[in-house]
Structure 1
Amino acid sequence: MEDRTSTIQELEAAQVYVLSVTTIPKAYPKTSRLVKKDSRIRTALGYHPQLVGERPNEMPLFERLLRETRYVGEVGLDGGKEFVGSKEAQAKVFAEILSLCRTERTKIISIHSRHAADAVLDKIEEHPGCGIPVLHWFTGSRAELERAIKLGCWFSVGAPMLRSAKGKAAVSLMPRERILTETDAPFASNDVLSSLSKATRGLSNVWRMDTAETKNTLKSNLARLVG
């Protein structure tokens, strides 16, 4: 974010619960120190698939830091043509991460699956008990979505996903009790609270319930996820 300090102050004043994901293991220590221990903001340890090709040697650091947090993300696979050269490295890193998470079984994992939904689901299926997979901005096919649901995946949904007919149709098929909101800030939005409000209103429309009931559903989902 352009102004991290004011963003943190705004989020804490609003008393919202936030998961701040990182893109490389090296970023985790400094990012986690931005907030106080009693904050509602948690930091996830990430190794973004789009960066695996240019930063291939950070798994030892990831493994050392993993014991410091329950949250992992953003990790996963990216099947975009611009990242085809790192396809094998991505698969290796993602498999190692899921294998490490399996030893504790309590990790909550935010997963990137752009143009790689089936491959991501294959890895999750190969590592039962790795924790709770939360598919971020899932854009797979209906068959892939149904498979993800059967595998017990959760889904984080943002305002951009709820603007298209395809996105709304996908969200309508996701189990309500396994949905969380997301912002994908700063890429999709620079205003976190506004983005969350738009996502909540979008879910209210899809679910055909009022905003207060939608908020209660989301709070209940989060409590069950972390509890």
Structure 2
Amino acid sequence: MSSPLVDMHCHLDLYPSPREQVQRIAQRKSYVLSVTTTPKAWRGTSDLAKGVPRIKTALGLHPQLAKERKSELTLFDQLLPEARYVGEVGLDGGPDCRAFWKDQVKVFEHVLSACVAAGGRILTLHSRAAASNVLDALEHHPGYGVAVLHWFSGTQRELARAIEMGCWFSVGNAMLRGKKGADLAAKMPHNRILTETDGPFAAVDGNPLQPAECEGALRVLARLWNTDEPAARDQVVSSFRELVSF
């Protein structure tokens, strides 16, 4: 019997029919981390997954929404004791987000400080065009927990630094189809790589990836690891179980 699929970063509440997606996840016995983009979305998104223990819901405040949603940090603090996972959080250095960089930093620093005070959390992190800034912030908040860099797109030097710091990585089909993404994944420790979709935002051939639609990513990982797809799948599940045991 093949191992279940692992989707470490999926926006479950943003699919057109999230309850149908939950049923499919339950039927396939996949592991899914359902990330949120605002604290206000966390309660309703958590309720979607009630009765499906393999779906966990992360408490997030997306950096692209930092300016308009920073007022929800109080709610973030109130909900954090109920959330074992935090995300999607981080920083975005893209040209469309630079105008409110100070708001992003304020939000991310607050989130990390709150995680330290709460005893640490597993975080799924956004770091587009801001990998060094994210890593700097993590270093300044020892005790934040475990960092999983989602769809990492930094430089080889930033990757080496993240590995040295003990970061984990989640990679998806959309990332691995590009040469840069595959080259980065080839350098990541096998036992710290998890699969993701980033659905419904990430798409392949114009089709949004569905929750736990990670077979394409596993095929690339199998090639990078010089093994077969079942072995790659087993490795990802083993790594996932190690992560959640922290």
> TM-score interval w.r.t. the shorter chain?
over 0.9
State the 1:193 CA deviation: 5.5
Q: Deviations over 1:188-208 (max 9, x none)?
A: 143425731111111111111
Q: Establish whether residue 182 from structure 1 lines up as the match of residue 196 from structure 2.
A: yes
Matched, 1:199 2:213: no
Q: TM-score with structure 1 length normalisation?
A: 0.97
1:25-174 equivalence runs, <5 A: 25-174=39-188
Give the Cα separation in 2 of the matches to 1:181 and 1:64: 30
Q: Is the 8 A contact 1:77 1:120 kept in 2?
A: yes
1:105–1:131: 8 Å Cα contact kept in structure 2? Answer: yes
- Residue in 2 that maps onto 1:216: 234
CA distance in 2, matches of 1:86, 1:106: 27
Aligned-pair CA distance for 1:128? 1.2
Tell me the CA shift for residue 53 of structure 1.
Answer: 1.1
Structure 1 or 2: larger strand share? 2
Distance, in Å, in 2 between the alignment partners of 1:38 and 1:55 is 29
TM-superposed deviation, 1:81: 1.1
Contact 1:158/1:195, CA 8 A, preserved across alignment = no
After superposition, the C-alpha distances for 1:28-71 in whole angstroms (9 at most, x for unaligned) are: 00110011244210100000000011222111000000000100
Compute the displacement of 1:106 (Å).
3.8
Kept in 1: contact 2:60–2:86 (CA 8 A): yes
Structure 1 unaligned blocks of 5 or more: none
Residue 10 (1) aligns with residue 24 (2): yes
Quote the Cα distance in structure 1 between the aligned partners of 2:221 and 2:119. Answer: 30
Q: What amino acid sits opposite 1:221 in the alignment?
A: S
The answer to whether the 8 A contact 1:108-1:134 is kept is yes
Equivalent position of 2:243 in the other structure: 225
Q: CA RMSD in A?
A: 1.2
Look up the equivalent residue of 2:242 and give its one-letter code: R
- Please state whether the residue corresponding to 1:55 is helix, strand or coil: helix
The aligned length equals 227
Report deviation, 1:172: 0.7
Distance 1:99 1:144 in 2: 23
Identity %: 48
Contact 2:26 2:52 in 1 (8 A): no
CA distance in 2, matches of 1:194, 1:94: 27
2:9 aligns to what?
none
State TM-score, norm by structure 2. 0.89
Q: Which runs of 4+ in 1 moved over 4 A?
A: none
